[in-house]
Amino acid sequence: MRIGIVLQLRESERCVHELKDALGVTQPLISQHLRVLKSAGVVEGERSGREVLYRLVDDHLAHIVADAIAHSEETR
Q: Which domain holds residue 64?
A: 2-74
Q: Which band of pLDDT confidence, cut at 50, 70 and 90, is reported for residue 75? A: low
Domain harbouring 41, CATH code: 1.10.10.10
Predicted confidence at residue 63, as pLDDT, reads: 79
Q: To the nearest 10°, the Cα dihedral for 47, 42, 57, 5?
A: -70
* pTM (predicted TM-score): 0.84
Residues 6+ apart with CB under 8 A from 44: 38, 54, 55, 57
Number of separate domains in the chain: 1
Q: pLDDT digit string (tens) for 24-68?
A: 999 999 999 999 999 999 999 999 899 999 999 988 887 787 788
Residue 66: strand, helix, or coil: helix
**What is the rounded distance in angstroms from the CA atom of residue 66 to the CA atom of residue 46?**
25
